[in-house]
Amino acid sequence: MDRATRNRGWERNERRPRVFQFSESNPLSPYLFLIPHAALFLLFTVYPIGFGVYVSLHRWDVLASTQPFVGLEFYRRLLDPNTVQFQFFWKTLLNTLLFVAVSVPLLVGGALSLALLVNRPISGRGFFRAVFFAPNIFAVSVVGLVWRWVLDNQAGLVNIVLDEYLGVRPINFITEQPWAWLSIILATLWWTVGFNMVIYLAALQGIPKTYYEAAELDGASTWAKFSHITWPLLSPTTVFVVITTVIASFQLFGQSLIITGGGPSRSTQSVIMYITEEGFSNFQFSSAAAMAMVLGLIMMLFTVVQFRALARDIGMGAKGDAR
């Protein structure tokens, strides 16, 4: 036994490890590190979810003297075609899914395309990066108002240009489908594509130049370089971008609320909008809580499925995992 080891042994025997001591000898150490986050997580995530479950199982109203237990009543309504809740919850969920299905590929593909463009040594690329990212800093209310005014049926810039300069009949962007959806998707794209672009840009800059040089020596075409080097090496980023974008798109709210008000005939009302209406306009808190729980479960399911599906494609990451 050398001196160092003996010394440590000696110390261990002499000094009783204290509960809050960060050291390898303290078995609580990892948990101590987790406490700061865990406390916030419990307070702001676990507790509200638990309270949400409680609300959804009772006929809850903060002003009422009693909060009678109703069990799964509000969940049952979501499965009974005769209720308003069934009709609008699933309708607005389908609306939201449609939005996710259309907007996510655009937000991911568009971001990647933009990132590839501004990653090239073109003049003024710093300017373009800033321009594409800039709309992100706006609040959704600003984005919604700007696009509502630009696309207004009568007074919008686009329609005035169409009508007075191009001689084309104005388009009812706000009150007719599929234009109403187009308006919302356009606004969303303009607003958030820059964020995904920046993430892709960072990932692109992390790909070693040597790979491309080697490929060029082998005479690889631009497409071959993209499909064999860039795309596979970006796959962990793509997983991240897709999952966060899907979650963000599921939470569609402000754009619909401000641009179309959910119309025409609730066709652009998102599920979060409907839950808000049920809770804060109709004061059906329990019903809204039940819907929020179901939506949460659906989103979780989506995320798991996506993660499974996409993680398989992650070249480097998954293989490096050695399992």
Catalog residues that contact other proteins under the rule CB under 8 A: 59, 61-64, 66, 83-84, 148-149, 152-156, 169, 172, 174-176, 261, 263-266, 277, 280-284, 287
Asked if 153 contacts 173 with a C-beta cutoff of 8 angstroms, the reply is yes
CA distance 291 to 316: 39
Cβ proximity to other proteins: between 47 and 283 the closer is 283
Query: C-beta of 205: minimal distance to other proteins in Å?
Result: 43
Query: C-beta of 67: minimal distance to other proteins in Å?
Result: 11
Query: C-beta of 258: minimal distance to other proteins in Å?
Result: 11
Structure tokens at 159: 């329609």
Cβ proximity to other proteins: between 54 and 302 the closer is 54
Cβ proximity to other proteins: between 200 and 285 the closer is 285
Tell me the backbone φ, ψ of residue 261, rounded to 5 degrees: 65, 20
Tell me the backbone φ, ψ of residue 69, rounded to 5 degrees: -75, 130
Query: C-beta of 254: minimal distance to other proteins in Å?
Result: 13
Query: C-beta of 48: minimal distance to other proteins in Å?
Result: 14
Cβ proximity to other proteins: between 232 and 263 the closer is 263
Query: C-beta of 270: minimal distance to other proteins in Å?
Result: 16
What CA–CA distances, in Å, run from 112 to 17, 118, 197, 213? 52, 10, 6, 22
Query: C-beta of 165: minimal distance to other proteins in Å?
Result: 15
Cβ proximity to other proteins: between 45 and 154 the closer is 154
CA distance 28 to 21: 9
Cβ proximity to other proteins: between 129 and 266 the closer is 266
Query: C-beta of 66: minimal distance to other proteins in Å?
Result: 8
Cβ proximity to other proteins: between 113 and 141 the closer is 141
Alpha-carbon Rg of the chain, whole angstroms?
Answer: 27
Cβ proximity to other proteins: between 119 and 183 the closer is 183
Structure tokens at 55: 């609300």
Tell me the backbone φ, ψ of residue 260, rounded to 5 degrees: -115, -10
